[in-house]
Amino acid sequence: MLQAWLYFFSRRTVIWLLLLINVPGTIYGFIWYWNQLKATPWYFVPFVPDSPTASLFFVFVLIAFLLRTNWPLMEALAGVTLIKYGIWAVVMNSSAVLAGAPLSSDIIMLNLSHAGMALQAIIYAPFFRLKAWHLVAAAVWTVHNDIIDYVFGMFPWLSQGLLPYLPQIGYFTFLLGLFSVGMIYLLSLRKDRLILSVHS
């Protein structure tokens, strides 16, 4: 059953469909961050739009698959950040509602799309062709991003109800990054991982 599902997601038509979903989703994500980016010092700008940057990494991964090749560093960056920020956004949006924010259609849409981000990474991680240094580089990126966010205050704008819990959110984000690195290790680097490739 698992092999049948993975074979389905290895089809080029499915990868094309995901590319057509992820490209406009990525563009929309950068637009979503536009006001925060305008208020951000230029040297911090690359580290602010976490989710659209993660999906941009994955766009490059999908393009490589369609070219019948692998770009392992992009795969490591995409895998780690899709899981991390996909889960992070669902937890933060849901926590905002619990803290008193209205359950709007925007929050529902964001939760569904970000859950899909994490799911994409889990589905496609067995197709990655990583070496240890690729995953180390992705781990350094995610830890560095956390430092920029929670030491220099460049974290994504949060609901007012969550601001009193900022230290806990920073710690959760850091641990979530480590969890994401571990997930990609288990799915992509462990010796008994599946060996999969893209099909026509």
Per residue in 110-120, pLDDT (tens digit) is: 999 999 999 99
The model carries a pTM of 0.93
Per residue in 87-104, pLDDT (tens digit) is: 999 999 999 999 988 989
Q: Please, is 123 exposed, middle or buried when counting C-beta atoms within 10 Å of its C-beta (0-12, 13-18, 19+)?
A: middle
What is the rounded distance in angstroms from the CA atom of residue 93 to the CA atom of residue 91? Answer: 6
